[in-house]
Amino acid sequence: MNLTNGEVTRSNYGKNLFGRRLKVIISGSLIVFLFTTTCIIADFSGQSQVLKQKQQVAAKVSRIMALYNCDNLQIHAAIMNTFDPIFVAIIIGIESGYKTNAISPAGCRGLMQLSPDKLDDWTDISKNIHIGAAFLEEQLQRFGTVELAIAAYNAGPGSVNKYQGVPPYRETLGYLEKTRQLSAVHYPDLFSKTSSDLVITRYPLQHRLTFKRVLDWKNSLLQ
């Protein structure tokens, strides 16, 4: 069949139009594919970075525990579930030397040296650590600096308020010095941090209610 020049032109135009549309569709699909792939790679990279950071923190916690010959996996897991695992690991070392049955002359008990009458079971490793860590977090939020938070954990927030700073108690000053020595090796920038620098983890309501009882008990020691 012979085609006229007009018919040939229309046929070529149709083919060109189809070709252009096909290129647009292919290009669009390619852009979507590349964008999706980039997002997946970025998300995977972000997750990998978070996992790497968590592994580094876990390793530091293990090294601090090893200083006290402790390799208890339950203790490690509980510490890793606090607002700042390395910070908490240092405090536990100073408070109890990682002895779950530690009892102080003042009656404080367990890993984070809490009042036995304020806990259902002070030997419960996870609860003892989480309540102690939350109390420490509470002081950090209240006073704004790591130094004052540690002082409040040791001497009570009432003493920090009374002296408008670190109380001049020998025990508290020694406590801070021990914390500085440990953090110099395992957490060099700890004392330069403020409450806004640390990620605050929210704890279960029953623990939050216990924090208030622990706080009241700490303050009662000062009376």
Task: Evaluate the CA torsion angle 171, 122, 128, 66 in order and state its sign.
Answer: positive
Residue 108: what are its φ and ψ, rounded to 5°? -70, 145
Longest Cα separation, the chain: 112
For 99, the 3-state DSSP assignment is: coil
138 is a catalytic site residue: no
DSSP secondary structure code for residue 123 in this structure: T
Catalytic position from the list 7, 95, 138, 177? 95
Contact 110, 123 (CB under 8 A): yes
Task: Identify the bridge partners of residue 152 per DSSP, sorted by sequence position.
Answer: none
| Cα–Cα distance for residue pair 207/36, rounded to 1 Å | 43
What single-letter DSSP state applies at residue 158?
H
Q: How many CB atoms within 10 Å of residue 147?
A: 17
Can you read off the two tokens belonging to residue 218?
A: 């700490």
Per the CB < 8 A criterion, the answer to whether 125 and 170 are in contact is no
Residues 6+ positions from 91 with CB-CB distance below 8 Å? 112, 132, 136, 150, 153, 179
Residues carrying an active site annotation? 95
